[in-house]
Structure 1
């Protein structure tokens, strides 16, 4: 047999082993990594024990030499399998939710890895004759955890999604952090430099920061290349494979930083931007391909590393058992400090999700070490700068520790979850289960009866089946009636069902291309937040979160600041367009959700709880419509255009469904179907991009909407427009605050603002103005606060520009003074300083800083727009 045939035969055998290991692990109720690792270790042990060289039975001497020269050592395993393994993990992370909990993830991953490295290394150094760097290398090797089995358990028991995101982020970043620390310590060992905390930390920060920067940059470049591939899903998926290996190689060889960190951040960048650039169909294909690649990578790296582990383990002596125990206890202790020490502090500060004590115990026990630790252990044996005896011991200790966590922790994880009560349904879930069974069995009984009648089954057989299902219906009804669920528990169950149904509707609309790729992430993230809050805080928390979902977020405030201070409009225009689209899509989803509540929930949770939830959905729907109306008042034409595009998207989705159904029914052939689909895809692409929004912030355009300037000549309006600056305000933003000294006058071109601090709030709207006293009485402090109630477009005139303007054109000063007199009445003059009258001349007396008495515009009742400006 030649070398190619031998390699293919070995690969076939390995793939079959991995394939059949999965169902066997299911049957034995063991985590799949335990099964794969056990098979690899058994194969390695058998090969070492028997001394049989399988390759020697089939290959000649040259082929044996060639295979031996390409043998998989620790460095090779890291290079070949780790980039795709970590990249696949990054693609499955919700980046938006991860960003929101970045601080907790950093603590759980990076800080915990640093703590475990120091804790394990120091403990081993105290009780063993090993050197400090060797002990720290061992600590870094075993500091990375693989909580995959814990995450699976938490998904099964319905743990909060926020907790799952934190655990997924920890699983992703602790591998990168541990390998970065390992690389720093290995470099120090090769340089014969004494290890101190500052040196290690500085090296780690450089490796991590440089790797993250390179990964983000290459990931961003990759997302810009996807459109060049002309929509080919296979080509785009291939490009991501090149990105995974390319980011690792460039960072390691060119920059000298951590390639593993680069791979992680390249994957996160692809996850956040790839779905937008690729589109829903191609993104789903890419994820499916990477799921398969990730399965192969994780299984093969664990199988090969476990097969090489016996050569390390058999170097241990009985006297080294004490060190194994110390390492095991120290690693558990370091993780316990994070879970029971740091995590409660973060939760108390509102930075992390609450984790129950049983969940913490399961996370602690489920901190299994796997393939990455084994590979690093193999790499330890190749560090020539450490004494051979020390290399032998620390590599063997790391391999032994992995074996213990697989055979003890991972194998007993289900039992621990059962003892902690985490695998059992709550009383409410059990009662809901009985109600669902009762309704389902009754439906099945009727269906079977109709089917038997249609097929003309013998009457005796029909009666026999009817009797069977009648008995099941009676039993289910009795159990359902005996399961009395309190109203609060039924409401909680209904909220959970409601949140999951909302997420399902969002995903379905995205897959059918009714929802654009730029909108799917925030909609999914908002749905997951609602699900978590409903589970933890109940109806009140759900309602509060639902009504606050679309308020100004950090990115929105940054976009407003860019427009206001640097006149950069594009981010704000994009945010407003996306926000409007999200609102309109949410409105469609809530209408579907309202119908679902009315039709499906009463039978599950009762009429009273279902009516409560239906009222909650209606309240959310009204809130969304109010926000849409708020934007529509500012930009009616743009809102109408967006609604038209969304309607056309729904029409094309229906059209695509009809074409697909005709093709599946055999009415149209494949060639005609492809032609119809191609033509439809062209129209869909045109609907994919949102139209550009004109914020309408040009002073020249806004000045015509201010009634104060109506009496000015066109030449004067053009002159004053040069001195006016436009400002955009978002709902809830304070334009002026109580107690501050003003330095500008504001003119409302469009929008609604509210004056607070009076006996009753006063509304200001289009054409009104405020802040005129800031121009004439600069030392006076404001007596009120004025807050935007909607999106507003304002014009501002600073005191400095006002003084320059009035010198050039005194009639503008008179226009502002006359308007102030009309708006504030006699109280206006009392607020002026004694050295200035309306025309800028000295006055005989003053009441500096005194609030004007009875500010009200003539002819307007209290409470109307324009009633008060300065208070």
Structure 2
């Protein structure tokens, strides 16, 4: 007779055995995202009566499953894209989420017969999004990076805010309060204050913990130890924030992941450590997703869902409408009053791609018995999650095509392959130089590395140049991406000048506003690189710029004599700024 532990191990092995079969099948078919295929396999196992006695609980999802998924997602997010889109993502994850919750709450009073407070709680449970399946498909079809960042970034922030609101509303339900208690000015202020405190506190905890681990990693060069440190960070930040400081563990883990995945990757990891750390987290996320999606399928109460179909179908429509009510108006407002510029087809994807998975399941499983219709809520949440993951997830590829989202073709795939190889060659050259400086390889070996990789680098640069000449669209894409990074550096330099007192706040704001205008043009696919600064127009150009920023520039400033002296001193028709730029480019 098997002991309890042995049975748990057998069940766990059964889960991964099914997952292995699904993976082998997909290797041959390759048309369905892995996570959705696992969910369908779980449904099949449930219908077939396969017993897998692993209890899916609120704590297992939040404490075991969620931290690695959040950390891996944040660590692999491009911080520049995240920063560029932060305002619209934050708006959707706060104001948008609140608006959607209100829509679900109000309609639920008529549709489901719930009290307003219970309807709001239902909205808070079901509206957090899970982008795993969508992002896997985005990667498969080559969807634009900005769209991926918008979907994932909004989801990461959305999850943290939703958990905070859920805790506040659940406390009111357990206390026997009504929505009228929440609708007072004091109630709204208390809820908003709690959200700000929890989210802000979580961000501080995550950044502080992330910085501590970052400093430790910067002084280490042992990839196994650094992997362990990132595991400690992912779970430690969540636990310390959530259970000891009572702030958002979700936001803490996301903040820590963003710091380690960007600053840590660039400044604290050797090439070997980067490969080891990110491969480990990719594997961890894969294993955790395998576990959670298969179990979601197995534990979905299919018969009860069928019995509640009359309520479930309107509830599915309600959740989609509530999502749309938030996304379309708020993104349009953000487009009008900021440099967000989220295209309409991206807005469609944000609505249809707002899948609901592990967070809603975790929250509904955490409902106490004091919540009356707990069983019905479980059926509705599992049913809506199943619909969104299967129907919306499987239709996403066609949906992208229908709304006109451009996906990468063969030329772009080749270009990305060449760029990745070129980056790998640069890393190899840098690493061989570092090893040589530390006397870890002989000079003749170092010179051989430099010759071989140097030759490959030249060949790659030639091929990339030829490809860009043959494909103007790729050249424009590279130009836009490069400009975006340059503009971030420009904005950072202006901010530094303001902080050091070299520039007044008013002028700094004007300069930054111009940078934001350029960024808005980039978002519309327009390059900001022009040939305005020609030799003959140099004086007029800078006089216009100076006047625009409130400086009184007379005729004696930048006159022809001064320009001639400047030219004579430099010995060419370039400015000192051009010389400095030229020199910087020869490294």
TM-score normalised by the chain length of structure 2: 0.72
Q: Which residue of the other structure, out of 113, 128, 144, is the alignment partner of 1:160?
A: 144
Selected match of 2:227 from 233, 237, 250: 237
SS at match of 1:513: helix
Distance 1:167 1:535, change over 3 A: farther
Shift of the 330–513 alpha-carbon distance from structure 1 to 2, 3 Å rule, reads: farther
Q: Is 1:335 aligned to 2:323, yes or no?
A: yes
- The residue that corresponds to 1:553 in the other structure is 490
Structure 2 residue aligned with 1:132, among 113, 116, 120? 116
Residue in 1 that maps onto 2:57: 73
Shift of 1:247: 0.9
1:367 match: secondary structure = coil
Could you tell me how far apart the structure 2 residues matched to 1:269 and 1:18 are?
32
Query: Is 1:377 paired with 2:364?
Result: yes
Within 2, Cα distance between the matches of 1:94 and 1:101? 11
Deviation (angstroms), 1:158: 4.2
State whether residues 755 and 764 of structure 1, in contact with CA within 8 Å, keep that contact through their aligned partners in structure 2. no
Q: Is 1:102 paired with 2:86?
A: yes
* Whole-Å separation in 2 of the counterparts to 1:553 and 1:502: 24
Distance (whole Å) between structure 1 residues aligned to residue 178 and residue 499 of structure 2: 48
- Contact 1:150/1:363 (<8 A) preserved: no
SS in 2 for 1:30: coil
Q: Which residue of 2 aligns with 1:270?
A: 260
What is the deviation of 1:397? Answer: 1.2
What is residue 382 of structure 2 aligned with on the other side?
A: 399
Aligned to 1:222: 213
**1:134–1:394 CA contact under 8 A, matched in 2:** no
SS of equivalent residue, structure 1 residue 219: helix
1:297 maps to which residue?
A: 288
Residues 160, 535 of structure 1: 8 Å contact kept: no
Distance of 1:516 and 1:378 partners within structure 2: 54
What secondary structure does 1:762 align onto? helix
**Residue in 1 that maps onto 2:313:** 325
Check conservation: 1:147, 1:171, Cα contact below 8 A: yes
SS in structure 1 opposite 2:128? coil
Matched, 1:7 2:4: no
- Mark the CA change 1:339 to 1:512 in structure 2 (over 3 Å): closer, same or farther: farther
Q: Which residue of 2 aligns with 1:282?
A: 273
Cα shift readout 1:573-619 (whole Å, capped 9, x = no counterpart): xxxxxxxxxxxxxxxxxxxxxxxxxxxxxxxxxxxxxxxxxxx9xx9
Report how far residue 760 of structure 1 moved: 4.4
2-side partners of 1:515 and 1:356: how far apart? Answer: 48
List aligned pairs for 1:764-779, cutoff 5 A.
none
1: distance between equivalents of 2:260 and 2:390? Answer: 36
Structure with the greater alpha carbon radius of gyration: 1
Map 1:839-858 onto structure 2 (within 5 A): none
Give a deviation string over 1:37-58, Cα, whole Å, max 9, x none: 22334434555xx8x7x77xxx
Partner of residue 460, structure 2: none
**How do 1:478-517 and structure 2 match up within 5 A?**
501=418, 505-510=422-427, 512-513=429-430
> Are 1:261 and 2:262 an aligned pair?
no
For the pair 1:115 / 2:106, whether they are aligned, the reply is: no
Shift of 1:417: 4.3
Distance in 1, matches of 2:37 and 2:481, equals: 46
> Are 2:173 and 1:189 aligned?
yes
Please list every run of 5 or more consecutive structure 2 residues that lacks an aligned counterpart in the other structure.
Answer: 435-463, 504-526, 534-544, 567-574, 580-587
SS at match of 1:278: coil
SS in 2 for 1:411: helix
Q: What is the CA–CA distance in structure 1 between the aligned matches of 2:560 and 2:477, rounded to whole Å? A: 29
Q: For the structure 1 residues 535 and 84, does the alpha-carbon distance in structure 2 shift closer, same or farther, using more than 3 Å as the test?
A: farther
1:552 Cα shift?
A: 5.8
Matches within 5 A, 1:276-675: 276-310=267-301, 314=303, 318=307, 320-349=308-337, 351-357=339-345, 359-380=346-367, 383-387=368-372, 390-417=373-400, 501=418, 505-510=422-427, 512-513=429-430, 539=476, 542=479, 546=483, 549=486, 553-564=490-501
Partner of 2:42: 40
CA contact (8 A) 2:331 2:347 kept: no
Alpha-carbon offset, residue 153 of structure 1: 4.2
Question: Match for residue 518 of structure 2?
Answer: none
Quick one: distance in 2 between partners of 1:547 and 1:5?
A: 55
Quote the residue 2:203 is aligned against. Answer: 212
Q: Tell me if structure 2 keeps the 8 A contact 1:176–1:260.
A: yes
**Match in the other structure for 1:247:** 237
Tell me the distance in 2 between the aligned counterparts of 1:7 and 1:141.
29
- Per-residue deviation at 1:739? 4.1
For residues 264 and 21 of structure 1, what CA distance do their matches in structure 2 show? 30
Give a deviation string over 1:657-682, Cα, whole Å, max 9, x none: xxxxxxxxxxxxxxxxxxxxxxxxxx
C-alpha separation in 2, matches of 1:764 and 1:190: 80
The aligned counterpart of 2:445 is none
| Structure 1: gaps (5+ residues) | 56-66, 437-492, 518-526, 567-615, 624-731, 741-753, 767-787, 793-871
- SS at structure 1 position matched to 2:430: coil
SS of the equivalent of 2:73 reads helix
Cα displacement (A) at 1:392: 1.9
CA distance in 2, matches of 1:296, 1:13: 14
Partner of 2:514: none
Residues 263-315 of structure 1 deviation map (CA, whole Å, 9 limit, x = unaligned): 111111211321111222202210000000011112212223333331xx655
TM-score (norm 1): 0.50
What is the alpha-carbon distance in structure 2 between the residues aligned to residue 80 and residue 509 of structure 1?
38
Q: Please give the alpha-carbon distance, in whole angstroms, between the structure 1 residues aligned to 2:34 and 2:365.
A: 22
Q: Deviations over 1:338-384 (max 9, x none)?
A: 44333244345562355353x5444433322222222222223xx23
SS at match of 2:363: helix
8 Å Cα contact 1:44/1:306 also seen in 2: yes
Higher helix share: 2
| Structure 2 CA distance for partners of 1:546 and 1:31, relative to 1, 3 Å | closer
Cα 1:756–1:124, aligned 2, differ >3 Å: closer, same or farther?
Answer: farther
How far apart, CA to CA, are the structure 1 residues paired with 2:558 and 2:161? 56
Distance 2:304 2:484 in 1: 63
1:250 is displaced (CA, Å) by 0.8
Distance of aligned partners of 1:734 and 1:536 in 2 relative to their CA distance in 1, 3 Å threshold: farther
Alignment of 1:779-798 (within 5 A): 790=577
Asked whether the equivalents of residues 247 and 266 of structure 1 are also in contact (C-alpha less than 8 Å), the reply is yes
Partner of 1:800: none
What is the CA RMSD across the aligned residues, in angstroms?
A: 4.2
* 2:18 match: 17
Cα deviation for residue 19 of structure 1 reads 2.4
Counterpart secondary structure, 1:553: helix
How far apart are the structure 2 equivalents of 1:545 and 1:535?
15
**How much does 1:246 deviate?**
0.8
Task: Give the whole-Å Cα distance in 1 for the aligned partners of 2:31 and 2:484.
Answer: 44
Matched, 1:202 2:193: yes
Q: Which has the higher contact order (CA 8 A, sep 6+)?
A: 2
Please tell me whether the aligned partners of residues 121 and 166 of structure 2 are also in contact (alpha carbons under 8 angstroms): yes
Q: How many residues align?
A: 491
> How many angstroms apart in 1 are the aligned matches of 2:386 and 2:294?
13
